[in-house]
Amino acid sequence: MSVFEDRLTLVPAIGLAEINDAGAALQTRVDRKYVVPTSALATLPLTQGARVLEIEGRRTSEYESVYFDTENLDSYLGAALRRRGRYKVRTRTYADSGDCFVEVKTRGARGATVKLRQPHDGEPTVLTDTAWKFTTSSLGPARRVSGPMQPTLANRYRRTTLLVDGGRPGVTARTTIDTDLVWIDPETGDERPMGPLAVIETKTGATPSVTDRVLWRHGHRPVRISKYGTGMALLHPELPLTPWRRVLDRHIEPRRRLTATA
């Protein structure tokens, strides 16, 4: 057990239903993401005043995601080139329970993230007819998909979820801490681990959460990182990667090494 996991045993627990109720308003939210060394989790006071999600005695769960895109990579290029109307489509499997959902993420007003999802009725690597109808309905006519979507990237990681002070009286927010992230090319099976780094994400309203303020005090600032965009750029160095160049160069793999493998 890591020092961080040992610290989690001292944090009050919260159940899935309760955290879902508390975070229902956060389906439309502001996300801030940070990349920190996993060693920092042993000392950062992220758990002070928090409650940790516990499911059947587990306080850290394994997630598996499969991302879908068109032949022209409309989803990836929309984000890489910062086009309007960009979107993301994936299946997410909670490996501990086997539950799987299809999820559609878009950008709402003022840069807020809007996520819609429903239970998935097929294999995680296939968008069934039901999933496809849900996807096109969720995207709406303003985000018309140019063609069929196929799996273009997969990943797996371990996640801890905290319910924390949302920065305003009576408001709560969520913090997720992801470790052991591995990106996978579904066509070749090539795997690229992120290494000894954690991705911390705060999901709040407009007001920064207590987690944001803790990270700022310790010198950590939000970065542009997307598990889909960054993973695709890492596995396919020929693709444009402007939004994620800095996080790749500073934290994951310098661009000169990416260029050398192209």
Segment 60-110, tens digit of pLDDT: 999 999 999 999 999 999 999 988 889 999 999 999 999 999 999 998 766
- Could you tell me the CATH number of the domain that includes residue 169? 2.40.320.10
Q: How many domains does the chain have?
A: 1
Highest mean pLDDT among 62-66, 145-149, 164-168: 62-66
Does any domain span residue 256? no
> Looking at residue 27, what is its pLDDT?
52
Does any domain span residue 253? no
Q: How far is CA 64 from the centre of its chain?
A: 11
**Per-position b or e across 151-162, b if 16+ CB within 10 A of its CB:** bbbbbbbbbbbb
Mean pLDDT for 122-145 is 92
Mean pLDDT for 185-206 is 93
Instruction: Answer whether 193's CB lies under 8 Å from 208's CB.
Output: no
Does any domain span residue 244? no
- Return the SS3 of 260: helix
Does any domain span residue 234? no
**Among residues 243, 229, 157, which one has the least CA distance to residue 194?**
157
Question: Sign of dihedral through CA atoms 145, 155, 178, 72?
Answer: negative
Q: How far is CA 210 from the centre of its chain?
A: 20
- Return the SS3 of 170: coil
Question: Running DSSP on this structure, what letter comes out for residue 209?
Answer: P
Range of the domain at 68: 3-223
Residue 255 reports pLDDT greater than 60: no
> Looking at residue 147, what is its pLDDT?
83
Residue 144 reports pLDDT greater than 90: no
Does any domain span residue 52? yes
Does any domain span residue 262? no
Task: Count Cβ atoms within 10 A of the Cβ of residue 239 and give its class: 0-12 exposed, 13-18 middle, 19 or more buried.
Answer: middle
* Cα separation, 75 vs 182, whole angstroms: 21
Residues 6+ apart with CB under 8 A from 24: none
- Return the SS3 of 41: helix
In terms of DSSP bridges, do strands 51-53 and 149-165 run parallel, antiparallel, or are they unpaired?
antiparallel
Residue 20 reports pLDDT greater than 80: no
Does any domain span residue 259? no
Q: Which residues make beta-bridge pairs with 33?
A: 201
Does any domain span residue 145? yes
Residue predicted with more confidence, 22 or 253: 253
Residue 167 reports pLDDT greater than 80: no
Residue 57 reports pLDDT greater than 80: yes
Residue 193 reports pLDDT greater than 60: yes
Q: Please tell me the number of Cα atoms within 13 Å of 253 on its side-chain side.
A: 17
Least confident of 13-27, 45-59, 155-169: 13-27
